[in-house]
Amino acid sequence: MPLNIGIIGFQGDVSEHAELLKKAANKLEVEVSVHEVRNRTQLDSVEALIIPGGESTTMFKLLKLYSMYDKIIELAKNGLPVMGTCAGLILISSKTNDERVEGMGLIDTEIERNAYGRQIDSFMDDIDIKGIGKYKAVFIRAPVISKPGKADVLAEYKNKPVMVGQGKVLGLTFHPELTKDTRVHEYFIKMIEGEGSTSSGDL
Ligand code: GLN
């Protein structure tokens, strides 16, 4: 049976994540079936979930509206691997600086939205990811991880964490789906398969 991976499909780089996941799975010779998830029932069949970038306030409203917000928390607490990228990280964090987005608390990390300011609200630069190595990261109106808490810091940029992991949950302030580099998605697939959980940290 292929590994069933869901991507929250309201907005953002949904198809890009799907493409890169499929390429990563090919490289690892793992069979995956990737689905866009837009309602609560679709969440029942996924074995891992990606929450993509986009606008976290909007995604927050939609996840609440479709009763998916609490369901994702419940599934993650029961071990569902989750990767949140950019706005997705804001949503899975334990605390945000914006009262319009309540973090799900899937990863013990505090977030500041749009913290890079207007001048450099999008940029690309080299980072070094633990277990992956040198990597060109794309940041788009990225949040800043103000406190990583109990999460493991897997990469930093200018002394600030940009990739964190805790148990089976990964959070990135950048967009791995906007590059041709499949290594972050490979890392996530290995994590799903139980080969690469980042820490034993409880939620
Ligand atoms: N600035 C967006 C937010 O706060 C996140 C940006 C992104 O996902 N690229 O929701």
pLDDT at 199: 52
Phi, psi of 190 (to 5 degrees): -65, -35
Provide the whole-model pTM.
0.94
- Per-residue pLDDT at 118 exceeds 90: no
pLDDT confidence tier of residue 200, bands split at 50, 70 and 90: very low
pLDDT at 168: 96
- Per-residue pLDDT at 21 exceeds 60: yes
- Per-residue pLDDT at 197 exceeds 70: no
pLDDT confidence tier of residue 202, bands split at 50, 70 and 90: very low
Q: Which atom of ligand 1 approaches the CA of 113 most closely? A: 4
pLDDT at 116: 82
Q: Which atom of ligand 1 approaches the CA of 12 most closely? A: 8
CATH code assigned to 3-192: 3.40.50.880
CA distance 101 to 59: 9
CA of 35 to the centre of ligand 1 (A): 22
- The predicted-structure confidence for 33-63, as pLDDT tens digits, reads as follows 999 999 999 999 999 999 999 999 999 999 9
Q: Which atom of ligand 1 approaches the CA of 55 most closely? A: 10
Is 177 a catalytic site residue?
Answer: yes
CA distance 70 to 76: 10
Work out the average pLDDT over 142-165: 96
Return the best residue to mutate from 51, 55, 118, 122 for the ligand 1 pocket (most ligand atoms within 8 A of CB).
Answer: 55
Q: Parse the chain into domains and list their residue ranges.
A: 3-192
pLDDT at 121: 79
Return the best residue to mutate from 7, 114, 144, 146 for the ligand 1 pocket (most ligand atoms within 8 A of CB).
Answer: 114
Mean pLDDT of all residues belonging to the chain: 94
CA of 98 to the centre of ligand 1 (A): 12
